[in-house]
Amino acid sequence: MVAAPTRAETGGGVQTFGNYIAGEWRPAATGETLENRSPSNRDDLVGLFAASGPDDVRAAVDAAAEAFETWGKGSPIARANILHKAANILEGRIEQIGRELAREEGKTLKEGIGETTRSVQILRYYAGEAQQPTGEHYPSVNPLTLLYTVHEPLGVCAVITPWNFPIAIPAWKIAPALAFGNTVVFKPASQTPLCAVRLVEALAEAGLPPGVLNLVTGRAGSVGDPLVNDERVVAISFTGSNEVGASLRKLAGERGAKIQLELGGKNPAIVLADADMDHALMHVVNGAMMSTGQKCTATSRAIVDRRVAGEFTEMLSKKITALRVGDPLDPETQIGPLIDEAAAERVAGEVQQAKDQGVSLLAGGERLRDGGRKNGAFVAPALFAEVDPSSRMGQEELFGPVLGVIPVDGLDEALAVANKVRYGLSASLFTRDLSTALLFAQGIQAGIVHVNSETAGAEPQVPFGGMKGSSSYSREQGKAAREFYTQMKTVYIDLPPAEQPSPGGRGSLA
């Protein structure tokens, strides 16, 4: 195992994990570590991880810059082979990593396994993408000119990922970066470094040359800041909060780095009177509550036609109240904890505040601290009725298991309400009517549009990203990934004069 040198057992059976820099697992320059504790039980220490700082970041960027000299010029087919192999390695570890993901992040075991499986699919997809055409051939005014474009790699890319998809988001940023010839310095969220280690191990074991992918764990201030400020980092891919996104956008603008931002969402699910109510119910609840509502694609507004709003709200209330909240490793559990105590307190506080302001709370919102939940970041899934679309509950991303129902009169009002937020990531409509579906798909301001399915979810072969405040107009995944991780060169190849049958066609001073 490549990771062996720093994965030695320490006292008490707790493992210590290092950074991966220049093809070696090594401790942080200061030797310091950070504790990583499970959100479902603070007594459960998942591991100790390098608490890195600027020296580690510099070493990682040095390694990535040096490796780019050869990796960027290498064959895409060789890169594809490594991604294929990494996919196979990861596939053999789905159960183990899915379990670790549930323990470290708090989503259910089923979701943890699902996310790891998805990461395998992402690696496979980019192994295929690496073998797709690298440019286009064009006609020229001179019929003998060979005129073509070629997508070339950018250089050293910073990949900064959130904790809520601790292996899938790193996979979908890192795999295309590598497939298209870039080298990477990867800074995962400090809450979920174990999944990051597992992904890097798979890629390293698959034969990635030293320096091509470097992992630096630690806090945002000590790792993220020096990383994005390093002039050699030419591109930054970030998924996370709008606040951090805004400061990165400014910084990248100032120093001319390419940037890709995936930010928040306040995603609506519109339920019209003709919808299949049971089907809509399942998708709205899944969209709102899976991963404890901690997805930027989560449904946080159920915009329901007034004719069915009473009935549908009642159905939601029953279903949400019955959700089993607990240990994500228990197969009976449907909803795990929030990512940490601070998040649980924040979300419970938001619910309390809305309730105090008179919003009608039909279910949940309180901290759960009984029995097996006493040491975890648990909050009962919450449902509000009759939410004012312009209120905080109707406008702000709470990033937790909280759903608000907004009654409306028909599609036009539903669309107006749906669009009147600063975000535009994903949106769903539930209807049986084809024209309504088409009007919705045209009128909704969202990068990801679903009809009769939940707002969350993303397949790797299509672009992913939001409109308005949800992104930087860039898209990830699918063919869009090549757009971000490459720059284009346009090449005119003409014959020397002796071999030109007639003068060139682009005009000349002579």
Catalytic center residues: 262, 296
Cβ nearer to ligand UN1, comparing 61 with 169 = 169
Residue 140 C-beta: closest distance to ligand UN1, Å:
42
User: What are 445's two structure tokens?
Assistant: 């301001």
User: What are 396's two structure tokens?
Assistant: 């702000």
Q: Name the segment binding ligand UN1 (CB under 6 A); options: 57-65, 129-137, 157-165, 194-202.
A: 157-165
**For 429, how many CA atoms within 13 A lie in the half-sphere containing its CB?**
27
CB environment 345-368: b (16+ within 10 A), e (fewer): ebbbebbeebeeeebebbbbbebb
- State the DSSP H helix or E strand holding residue 195, giving kind and residue range, or none if neither: helix 193-205
Q: Which of 36, 52, 164, 436 binds ligand UN1 (CB under 6 A)?
A: 164
Straight-line distance from the first to the last Cα atom of the chain, in angstroms, rounded to the nearest whole number:
66
Residue with tokens 């998708």: 283
Q: Name the segment binding ligand UN1 (CB under 6 A); options: 160-168, 250-258, 344-352, 410-418.
A: 160-168
Other Cβ atoms closer than 10 A to 75: 11
Asked if 165 touches ligand UN1 (CB under 6 A), the answer is: yes
Cβ nearer to ligand UN1, comparing 154 with 168 = 168
Cα(17)–Cα(203) distance, integer angstroms:
16
Asked if 428 touches ligand UN1 (CB under 6 A), the answer is: no
Q: Which of 271, 383, 429, 458 binds ligand UN1 (CB under 6 A)?
A: 458
Planar angle of CA 54, 82, 486, nearest 5 degrees: 65
Residue 6 exposed, middle or buried by CB count within 10 Å (0-12, 13-18, 19+): middle
Cα(327)–Cα(318) distance, integer angstroms:
22
Cβ nearer to ligand UN1, comparing 19 with 334 = 334
Cβ nearer to ligand UN1, comparing 37 with 173 = 173
Q: Name the segment binding ligand UN1 (CB under 6 A); options: 269-277, 377-385, 394-402, 454-462.
A: 454-462
Cβ nearer to ligand UN1, comparing 63 with 398 = 398
Question: What secondary structure letter does DSSP report for 297?
Answer: T
Residue 239 C-beta: closest distance to ligand UN1, Å:
5
Cβ nearer to ligand UN1, comparing 217 with 291 = 291
Asked if 237 touches ligand UN1 (CB under 6 A), the answer is: no
Other Cβ atoms closer than 10 A to 384: 26
User: What are 310's two structure tokens?
Assistant: 């009473």
Cβ nearer to ligand UN1, comparing 168 with 197 = 168
Residue 161 C-beta: closest distance to ligand UN1, Å:
9
Cβ nearer to ligand UN1, comparing 28 with 171 = 171
Asked if 456 touches ligand UN1 (CB under 6 A), the answer is: yes
Residue 262 C-beta: closest distance to ligand UN1, Å:
5
Asked if 296 touches ligand UN1 (CB under 6 A), the answer is: yes
Q: Which of 36, 38, 239, 436 binds ligand UN1 (CB under 6 A)?
A: 239
Q: Name the segment binding ligand UN1 (CB under 6 A); options: 62-70, 159-167, 252-260, 383-391.
A: 159-167
Footprint of ligand UN1 on 253-272 (CB under 6 A) = 262
Q: Name the segment binding ligand UN1 (CB under 6 A); options: 69-77, 453-461, 489-497, 498-506.
A: 453-461
Cα(68)–Cα(189) distance, integer angstroms:
25
258-262, strands of its sheet edge to edge = 24-26, 19-21, 213-215, 183-187, 156-160, 233-239, 258-262
Distance of CA 502 to the CA centre of its chain: 55
Question: In the chain, what's the furthest Cα-to-Cα distance?
Answer: 89
- State the DSSP H helix or E strand holding residue 440, giving kind and residue range, or none if neither: helix 434-443
Planar angle of CA 63, 68, 74, nearest 5 degrees: 135
What binding mask, one character per residue, do residues 69-88 give for ligand UN1 by CB under 6 A, x or -?
Answer: --------------------
Residue 249 C-beta: closest distance to ligand UN1, Å:
17
Q: Which of 106, 162, 326, 400 binds ligand UN1 (CB under 6 A)?
A: 162
Q: Site for ligand UN1 (CB under 6 A): how many residues?
A: 12
Residue 80 identity (one-letter amino acid): A
Residue 228 C-beta: closest distance to ligand UN1, Å:
19
Asked if 63 touches ligand UN1 (CB under 6 A), the answer is: no
| Phi-psi label, residue 181: left if phi above 0, alpha if psi -120 to 50, beta otherwise | left
Pairing of strands 146-153, 486-493: antiparallel
Asked if 297 touches ligand UN1 (CB under 6 A), the answer is: yes
Contact positions toward ligand UN1, by CB under 6 A?
A: 162, 164-165, 169, 239, 262, 295-297, 456-458
